[in-house]
A = this chain, B = another copy of it.
Amino acid sequence: MAVTLKQIADKVGVHPSTVSRVLTGRHENFSVGEALRARILDAAKEMNYVPNELARGLRLQKSHTIGIVVPDILNPLYAGLVRSIEKENINERYSFLICNTDEDQEKEIKHIEMLRNKRMDGLLIVPVQKKMDHIKALWAENYPFVLILRRFEKLTTNAVVMENAQDAYKAVEHLIKLGHRRIGFVRGRRTSYEIQGRERGYRSALAAYHIAVDPRCIVGDGCSADDGYAAAKELIKQSNMPSALLVSENVIIVGVLEALFEAGLSIPYDVSVVSFADMTFSPFFSTPLTTISMPIDQIGKESMQILLKQMASPEIHLGRIKTLSGNFIIRKSTHKAFGS
């Protein structure tokens, strides 16, 4: 169906290799005579030539495509990440094949397998982090990749992550300084790197201010709005419900707000709320949310830069780990505790 080099060659009356030389333009105007060059260019345009990247890729051993594996592109955090990665794609040399895992380990494994089959030149992965063999395999085979937001402690792969413990510490400290003593932690998926860091920060802030950790204050294990809803419900029904909440992830905040609203609790007067959240709309909520916001653009930029460097020399493990800090933004959802 599609026009090939050979067809152009036949039409112009030259050998396919000559056409190739002209069309790839690698050797500029040197290797092929000017007149012939023009004739070939004309013929290609006239015949609507569409170069076959599959064939080029096979020959050159590169697909000019980068695979991106994220939990869910519907989450603005990951959508933003993808866009910022794209911005670092100088000269539009690469395109991006995007996969969603929904935090399902088996999906991730399948997707990465597929991305390898399709010979992605590099991989950008927010890993599910339940298994790591498939990541280790990439590592062992010098397959260029960068982990984003989550990394494996035991593996010095390229990674761009957040100062999760520190970020959470700051948020909890803010609440403590407002006089809160009983502070709830609405946890996301326990197995994931960010959440573990944030829980550490939560605990160490309490410890620093000599507040005992009540295990009943730590609820939840999931990253959907529904999980947040259920977790908040659990806190609400407790006899001495926390006067302040740290919500550990983006999307679950929606469920938390819903539960609080349903229970007739007002923010911040009945309960103060701080959330790890990155939503354009945070300022428009009935109570604008105090949040720890992530430098998404920078995360994407760093990840892509490291990946490009790694792809340039796959045999040398960069082992580059970049750690970034969140930005604590005080809005209206936190308030002094009563009686303090």
Stretch touching chain B among A115-123, A149-157, A210-218, A304-312: A115-123
Q: Does chain B have a CB within 8 A of A53?
A: yes
Q: What CA separation (Å) do A85 and B100 show in the bound complex? A: 12
> Which of A31-39, A54-62, A188-196 forms contacts with chain B?
A54-62
Residues of B within 8 A of A281 (CB): 254, 279, 281, 284-285
Pairwise interchain contact A97-B96, C-beta atoms closer than 8 A = yes
Q: Are B73 and A83 in contact, with the CB atoms below 8 A?
A: yes
A239 close to chain B: CB less than 8 A: no
A53 touches B110 (CB 8 A): no
Asked if A73 meets B82 with Cβ closer than 8 Å, knowing A96-B97, A97-B97, A110-B92, the reply is yes
Contact A83 B96 (CB under 8 A): no
- With most chain B CB atoms within 10 A of its CB, the pick from A51, A54, A76, A225 is A54
For A74, give its contact among B51, B79, B95 (CB under 8 Å). Answer: B79
Kindly name the residue among A63, A79, A96, A118 whose own CB sees the greatest number of chain B CB atoms within 10 A. A118
Of the candidates B65, B72, B83, the one whose C-beta lies within 8 Å of that of A100 is B83
Distance from A289 Cβ to chain B, minimum over Cβ atoms (Å): 10
- In this complex, what residue of B is CB-closest to A284? B285
Contacts A48-B137, A254-B281 hold; do A54 and B58 have CB atoms under 8 A apart? yes
Judge if A265 is at the interface, Cβ distance under 8 Å. no
Please indicate which of the listed interface residues A73, A225, A254 has the most CB atoms of chain B within 10 Å of its own CB.
Answer: A73
Q: Is the CB of B97 within 8 A of A114?
A: no
**A280 within 8 A of partner (CB):** yes
Whether A318 is near chain B, meaning CB under 8 Å from some CB there, is no
Cα–Cα distance between A98 and B340 once the two chains are bound (Å): 53
Please indicate the chain B residues that have their CB under 8 angstroms from the CB of A76 in the complex.
74, 76
**A-side interface residues toward B, CB under 8 Å?**
1, 48, 50-55, 57-58, 63, 65, 72-74, 76, 79-80, 82-83, 86, 92, 95-100, 110, 113-119, 137, 141, 225, 254, 257-258, 279-281, 284-286
| Other contacts beyond A52-B119, A96-B98, A254-B280: 15, CB < 8 A | A1-B141, A48-B141, A50-B113, A50-B117, A51-B117, A52-B117, A53-B117, A53-B118, A54-B54, A54-B119, A65-B97, A95-B114, A97-B97, A254-B284, A284-B286
